[in-house]
Amino acid sequence: MNKPTIQEALLRCPYCSAEQQQALYPVVDLVENPSLKLGILTDSLFSVRCCECSNRFSVVHEMLVLDKDASFALLLAPDSSLTEIKEPSEEIRDLGTLRLVTSSDELKEKVILLDAGLDDTTIELCKMYLLMKMERPGYTLLYADHQVGEAQMLFTLFNEKGEMEETIQCSDGLYTQLLKTAKAFSLKQGFFLRIDQSWAFKEIKNSAG
């Protein structure tokens, strides 16, 4: 097993202003280092404990997450306003799914649903349908889990302030119904694409026009 790529960075604690060296992971290969997946899902890869005051603070940095077995690559680019970024590496460019995310929550969501073999474009259409049905256009949904026995998916609902409110259930039937619609949309190849609720709204609007 290859050692994960580690980069040392000098960080300043937002609580006491103390500086300390911290190991960051700019590239995470989930095939070579599967244990790092838990670090992503629990936010421990982005959590730092200050050596002086012992407070924990978050450091979300640019990160490339690869899973060649599942044929996906995720580029975490915090606070980026871009909707696509070209991938120059042929090895990564040829993977089936390239996605651009801007937060650790979005990164976790993509890892979870792609791990489950779900199509994220269809998931975004499901979110849009659910939010329209609930008449909460300013809210956000994040995929949380798939309950196979119950034949349903679970989403976490966040309000306009980003505060978690409740868990929303969605039947597998809705996913199956919208899968054909999602597959009709063409995606640009060789680019990390931002596939989110804004993308889903734009695609549906364009198809209706």
pLDDT score, position 5: 76
**Do residues 36 and 28 make contact, with C-beta atoms less than 8 angstroms apart?**
yes
What's the CA angle centered on 33, arms 47 and 51, to 5 degrees?
25
Mean pLDDT, the chain, rounded, equals 92
Helix, strand, or coil (residue 142):
strand
pLDDT at 1: 45
Model-level pTM?
0.91
Domain residue ranges of the chain, discontinuous segments joined by +: 104-208
pLDDT for the residue numbered 4: 65
Rounded to whole angstroms, the Cα distance separating 49 from 78 reads 21
Please report, for residues 15, 21, 38, 183, the alpha-carbon distance to residue 41 in angstroms, rounded to integers and kept in the order given. Answer: 25, 23, 5, 28
pLDDT of residue 6: 86
Maximum Cα–Cα distance across the chain: 58
Contact 80, 106 (CB under 8 A): no
45-99: per-residue pLDDT in tens?
Answer: 999 999 999 999 999 999 999 999 999 999 999 989 999 999 999 999 999 999 9
Which SS3 state, helix, strand or coil, does residue 82 take? Answer: coil
Element (H, E) at 97: strand 97-101
Give dist(CA 77, CA 81) in Å, integer.
Answer: 9
Condensed to tens digits (0 to 9), the pLDDT of residues 132-165 reads: 999 988 899 999 998 888 899 999 999 999 999 9
